[in-house]
Chain A
Amino acid sequence: QKEVEQDPGPLSVPEGAIVSLNCTYSNSAFQYFMWYRQYSRKGPELLMYTYSSGNKEDGRFTAQVDKSSKYISLFIRDSQPSDSATYLCAMIREGGKLIFGQGTELSVKP
């Protein structure tokens, strides 16, 4: 079993839709929970990170962590075609080793 599970999609939504991306994990030692966005043929770009259970909002993006269920989510409001990319969840233990999910490919259609 992988430490971090993420549905690879692909996920296709119309412009303006609310997008929900999710990951589950098995290791309760994870301390930080990150979301990265990766455009085709580019490196991952850090969108947000959270430390504890709860919500964190940044513009159209909301990250949610439920440590009791070992479940994290990223919500994108008012999705735009420019949001079309692969979204990677990642988790980290002390020391800096990032463990990534497989990534979910998102396509926002105009």
Chain B
Amino acid sequence: DAGVTQSPTHLIKTRGQQVTLRCSPKSGHDTVSWYQQALGQGPQFIFQYYEEEERQRGNFPDRFSGHQFPNYSSELNVNALLLGDSALYLCASSLGGARYNEQFFGPGTRLTVL
């Protein structure tokens, strides 16, 4: 049973560029959440997708947007990259409804903005 997968593993971009990160949830999971983890910090919630809709959003600017596809996979898009966007981007999947507490994380995508 494949767990949560993310691609790419690493990415280097320059300021002002745009980036798209991808996530495939654990088999049987229908909810995807995205988190940003800066070096030495705990992950911070960006947003959550369920049934192809953004269900919750954290305190992140509109430059951060996402999408969920009918197969439950998800994308995170970041526009107009800033140096401060350099971080590990984590995707977590879970079951909707009452099982939201069991969130399983992927290995993350390490984004470096130069």
A interface with B by C-beta (< 8 Å):
4, 6, 8, 31-32, 34, 36, 41-46, 49, 51, 88, 90, 92, 94-103
Contacts and interface: CB of A to CB of B under 8 A. Distances in A.
Given A94-B100, A103-B41, 10 more contacts: A4-B42, A44-B90, A44-B105, A45-B105, A46-B102, A46-B104, A95-B48, A95-B100, A96-B101, A98-B35
Contacts of B33: 96-98
A71 to B, nearest CB: 17
Interface of B: 4, 31, 33, 35, 40-45, 48, 55-56, 58, 90, 92, 94, 100-108, 110
A98 B42 CA distance: 10
Nearest to A43: B105
A98 B92 CA distance: 10
Contacts of A95: 48, 55-56, 100
Contacts of B110: 41
Contacts of A97: 33, 45, 48, 56, 58
